[in-house]
Chains A and B, each alone.
Chain A
Amino acid sequence: MYFTRSISIIGLSSILFFVLNCSEEPIQTDLSNNSQSLDTLSLADISGFTYQISPEISSYQKLYVGNNNNFSFPISLLKFPSNGWDTFLDSSVTIDSIFLKVYSDDSLINSDINLMLHFSPDSVFSEINSYVNQFSDIGLSQWTNLGIPNVSIISDTSDTISHFQESILDWELSDLINTLTDTTISDRTFSLSFSDNMDSTFIELYSREYSSGGLDPKIEVYYRSEQESVIDTLTRIIYVAEDISTTDNPQLSESPDSSIIISRGRGYRSIINIPFDSLSLPPFSVIRYANLFLYQKGDSLDSFSIRMEPLNQSIDSIALNFDSDPYENLGAHYSNSATAEGRLQISLKSYFQSILMVDSLKNVGMKFSSSINNSLFDSVEFDLSNDKNRVEILYVTP
């Protein structure tokens, strides 16, 4: 029995020894019969054109009024919500004062700035649905003129040296108390504009897209509420619901020869066509990289961010100007890049790989547009006749 037990233990220990000593070393051998290989493809026949849409005026982080860099912004519009005003209908409430405030990061605003505030009880605009060409005939003469603002500077005085924080422009709205608190009125729209359209007048204000709350355009209401002989002094802040800047945007009459332009402020976008389809590479190829190189024309602008969106389908139109973008995005395989050293290098890898894999996906072009982070006043132009424009594709075949 003792021997049987011992020999069984030796047996089990041996199995454990085998398991612990298992090793896997690749065996070096000739795998030349593995036909997988690396290859390259270079595409040079790149074409494109520029079209123009109504600039997306609702998405600016600033509100602009005046003229700057050949851009003209006649009016900025602010719309306040219809709710929140019924508080002031209570007979126990007495409004002491009411102000509309907007903020700017400009520390040099003159106290006598000629920025006029007007009011209209109409809707006037919609952030989502309005286009710039709908504001060419706004008649401010029909609006209530509320005059010019008081300008004050807010500084951080916590240090020995005070630091500028922001400028505040506020208007006293006492004349509008009854109108604003009238709950039968559904819209409360204000406009900001210069009384004289001089080229040198220009101001940037924070829009509601800039931050959440603090620097938004707003109406501050200071009021008293009397309940059973107790008087509370209260403040109500009503933030702007929608805001836009209108712009006089010259229409693009024709797409420039041999070049494309991309501009956020002008609404310039471009369609690029590259001769690549599902047969351009062998079946089951996997793209290691596919980079488009486009060279800029004239003075180069660095760090201009561009978004590439594959198109879902092409459109049969020779028009160049549109309110909304008629070129529908595929919604996938987009990429972003920025100009550097006079050129744009952007990846088309994901899109081209999908063209190879998905039978129903056809290469009908790619839309190039400005990133929302670019300045409104910047634009880039790419020279399509530059011989160095190309797509470099490195791929592996099975």
Chain B
Amino acid sequence: MLPLKKFIQILLFISFSVAQGPANSFGIGNHQKWSSPSQGGIGSVGLVPSFQNNVSLSNPVTWSNLKFTHLSISYNGLESEIVKNNTNNGFSNLQSAQLIIPVKQKYAFGIELHPYSYQKIILSDTVYNDIIAFEDTVSVQKKYEQSGGIMALDLSLSSSLFSGNSIGFKMQLLFGSSRQNKSLILNQIPYTQASRLNYSGINSTLYIRQKINLINFYINSSFSINPLEAIYTKLYPFDDTNNNGYHDFTYNYLYPGYDFPHPNDVSEPNESRITDIYDKSSLGIGITRKILNRIQLSAELEKNTDRSSFDIRLPNSFNYRIKSNDNYSFGIIWFPDDLSFRFIDNFTFRSGFLYSTYSFDEYESLSQKRIDNKNDITQFGYAIGFGYKFKAVGNQIDFTYFSGSRDYPNKYNDEILQEFQIGLSIADIWFIKRRQR
């Protein structure tokens, strides 16, 4: 088998590639929905167990049920198709890298690195008539390119308080950057206004699990300790004559000429701090019920609200911001039988449905206020997946396929989404006193 070290190297090499989809241009981008294929396999918001029996990789209060330390890495590929425009985009990236350390089956500590939001987008508007300037005919197009996004480093702690009750806390450090190029393309030469956003922020989440009779209740509540802010760097606009997207002084034989003005001639970039870009507030509730010993039924509800002012200076192509988001998910899982030696009993089978609504607002320049849009974006999809547990410590490989559609009112009609996720968890014994030989 491929050594773990090489596997990780390959994942890191091909991770952080590009993402494309209209939602990426809304507000701070498209939030990552799932950080592991086990979570995605039932379309979960991350509260209810989905990785192993009584364990969710996304919910710290369940980690004390792990017998071993787990290092999990997952990767996903997503395809987005805009039906109306016949536009098809695909991307893949590292979904998460996570280390969970259970201590004496009572406490747990975890650290996770994962994308928080994707901002990669290329938008084009070619529906413009030629302009007559003096005696020249000038063709006109508009283009908006954005790349990068926000990453999150999660530090989590949890503890069992008493039988059937656990509590956990997650500190989420947000960081990352994105690069925007807003262009007016005249006779194939873009006039480009480039900018950079360097993000930082801190979120926190409190988790509680309570078992009442045969039903497990999971609750989480998130809020921003330090709402997302950014250093906004606005560069001097330029004619990107060599069409490489950068303000440089290199010659391109395909697009002859040099960028104008010369990069050394322009004034220093204008830097400003934009605060209160994203102020998260959320509440999630999940319940699970075991039936037939190995089957788990689950239902979750999560309500997210952005309470930020969302400064108008943010370079946002649509001028839209997701203001609130509700997620509803229903899942079913067939867990493995830990006591069985049968091959089939090492498998986990998952399936689930997800329904989401997104409310968004936009800045109206006339009133200089953000106006709520009356039509929500809706998303519906289903997921199926399976996992295979191998070796005595409980290593696990998981696969998930998700298919869904997202409807943008008056915008694109329909976006069809397909996502494939792969995850590998390697378990080992930590903090367990080994027997002296």
Interface-side segment among A130-138, A154-162, A167-175, A390-398: A390-398
Interface residues of A in 348-398 (CB under 8 A from B): 349-350, 353-354, 357-358, 392, 394, 396, 398
**Bound complex: CA A36 to CA B144 (Å):** 11
The interface bits of chain A over 262-298 (1 if a CB of B lies within 8 angstroms of the residue's CB, else 0) are 0000000000000000000000101010000000000
Query: Which of B7, B89, B140, B267 contacts A24, CB < 8 Å?
Result: B89
CB pair B267–A357 under 8 Å, yes or no, is yes
The answer to whether the Cβ of B328 comes within 8 Å of any Cβ in the partner chain is: no
| A contact residues around B143 at 8 Å (CB) | 26, 31
Asked whether, in the complex, the Cβ of A286 is within 8 Å of the Cβ of B239, the reply is yes
Q: Enumerate chain A residues within 8 angstroms of B261, measured Cβ to Cβ.
A: 286, 350, 353-354, 357
Q: Is the CB of B134 within 8 A of A392?
A: yes
Which one of A5, A18, A33 contacts B420 once the chains associate, using CB atoms below 8 Å? A18
Which residues of B sit under 8 angstroms from A31, Cβ to Cβ?
123-125, 142-144, 317
Given contacts A28-B87, A31-B125, A357 and B266 within 8 Å (CB-CB): yes
Report yes or no: B422 in contact with A23, Cβ–Cβ below 8 A: no
Q: Give the A-B contact count at a CB cut-off of 8 A.
A: 171
Minimal Cβ-Cβ distance residue in A for B82: A27
Q: Is A8 a contact partner of B77 (Cβ separation < 8 A)?
A: no
B interface residue count range (under 10 / 10 to 19 / 20 to 34 / 35 or more): 35 or more
Q: State whether B186 touches A288 (Cβ < 8 A).
A: yes
Nearest residue in B to A36 (C-beta to C-beta)? B184
> Whose C-beta in chain B lies nearest to the C-beta of A40?
B133
A185 at the B interface (CB under 8 A): no
Q: What residue of chain A has the Cβ atom nearest to residue B141's Cβ?
A: A31
State whether the Cβ of B88 lies closer than 8 Å to any Cβ in chain A. yes
- How near does chain B come to A213, taking the closest CB pair, in angstroms? 36
Per-residue contact bits, chain A 33-73, to B (CB 8 Å; 1 contact, 0 not): 11011101010000000000000000000000000000000
Of A9-17, A99-107, A201-209, the one touching chain B: A9-17
A36 vs B191: C-alpha distance when bound (angstroms):
9
Cβ contacts under 8 Å, A3 to chain B: 343, 388, 390
**A23 to B236, Cβ gap below 8 A?**
no
Q: Secondary structure of the A side of the interface?
A: mixed
With A8-B1, A29-B411: A18-B90 Cβ-Cβ less than 8 Å = yes
Cα separation A353 to B267 with both chains bound (whole Å): 12
Q: How far is the CA of A34 from the CA of B260 in the complex (A)?
A: 21
CB-CB under 8 A from B399, the residues of chain A are 11, 14
Q: Which residues of B from 314 to 337 have beta carbons under 8 Å from A?
A: 317-319
Is the C-beta of A32 less than 8 angstroms from some C-beta in chain B? yes
Of chain B, the residue at the smallest CB distance from A33 is B319
Of the candidates A11, A14, A22, A30, the one having the most CB atoms from chain B within 10 angstroms of its own CB is: A22
Encode B157-194 as 1/0 by CB contact (under 8 A) with A.
00000000000000000000000001110100101010
Judged by a CB distance under 8 angstroms, whether B22 is at the interface is: yes
Since A357-B267, A396-B186 are in contact, a sample of 6 more A-B pairs with Cβ atoms closer than 8 Å, ordered by chain A residue number, is A11-B424, A15-B422, A23-B20, A32-B125, A36-B184, A357-B236
25 contacts between A and B (CB under 8 A): A4-B391, A14-B77, A15-B77, A15-B92, A15-B422, A18-B75, A18-B92, A18-B420, A22-B17, A23-B88, A24-B18, A27-B22, A27-B82, A27-B87, A29-B123, A29-B124, A33-B318, A33-B319, A34-B142, A38-B140, A286-B191, A286-B239, A349-B260, A357-B265, A358-B267
